[in-house]
Amino acid sequence: GAVVSQHPSRVICKSGTSVKIECRSLDFQATTMFWYRQFPKQSLMLMATSNEGSKATYEQGVEKDKFLINHASLTLSTLTVTSAHPEDSSFYICSARLVGTSEKLFFGSGTQLSVL
Amino acid sequence: QQQVKQSPQSLIVQKGGISIINCAYENTAFDYFPWYQQFPGKGPALLIAIRPDVSEKKEGRFTISFNKSAKQFSLHIMDSQPGDSATYFCAASRPFYGGATNKLIFGTGTLLAVQP
């Protein structure tokens, strides 16, 4: 099956620093990638949709200047949490849609961000 | 209209028993209904999915039952095992058209515990 690699799996940073999370589709091309945020024991909340070569589309209430998304190639999307604060601490998950398929999404293993 | 309601919030089942999780939706434009399994600290993994043109789909011990008129669908896990203990999410999305980006709408999740 299609594999989505997300890195790092866990990051601890000081308040005010920026953190970059990478999402790679290892054995397929993904024109569209999605970024989610998940709080403990809660559902996945879609943050933004990332299309290769174009600007990301952010969901209502998500600060685009806080969460910078870049989708420079068909296999890589990055999420940068800028000037992180403790309230940004969360589990971030990316997913990728296989080119040529309609709905199948493959998820990364997630990144646990802890901001001190 | 965009919500997917999921119940129960948590479920305890004895080993060998049947686990049943239910979801309901309102948007009749939804045409793809997947179920995801998530273990702690990991991203969701696609378990099984169904479209409205069939009333049931079975893959191994996992079965989706779909009731289009009631706008409900459910996941049945037969012969539940301790290894099935995880959080299960139902989801729904609208048809994908070329160039358009459809989004998965997730249910609130069900924490399943299978006791040995």
Residue written as tokens 């990051």? A11
Reported as a pLDDT band with limits 50, 70 and 90, residue B94 is: confident
Per-residue model confidence (pLDDT) at position A115: 96
Per-residue model confidence (pLDDT) at position A65: 94
Reported as a pLDDT band with limits 50, 70 and 90, residue B101 is: low
Per-residue model confidence (pLDDT) at position B100: 53
Alpha-carbon torsion (A22, A34, B112, B60), positive or negative: negative
* Mutation target among A22, A31, A44 for the B interface, most CBs of B within 10 A: A44
A55: chain B residues, CB-CB within 8 Å: none
Per-residue model confidence (pLDDT) at position B96: 64
Closest-CA residue in chain A for B37?
A: A107
| B45 in contact with chain A, both atoms CB, cutoff 8 A | yes
Residues 6+ apart with CB under 8 A from B113: B10, B11, B12, B13, B85
Per-residue model confidence (pLDDT) at position B15: 97
Mean pLDDT value across residues A73-100: 91
Mean pLDDT value across residues B57-62: 96
| A55 in contact with chain B, both atoms CB, cutoff 8 A | no
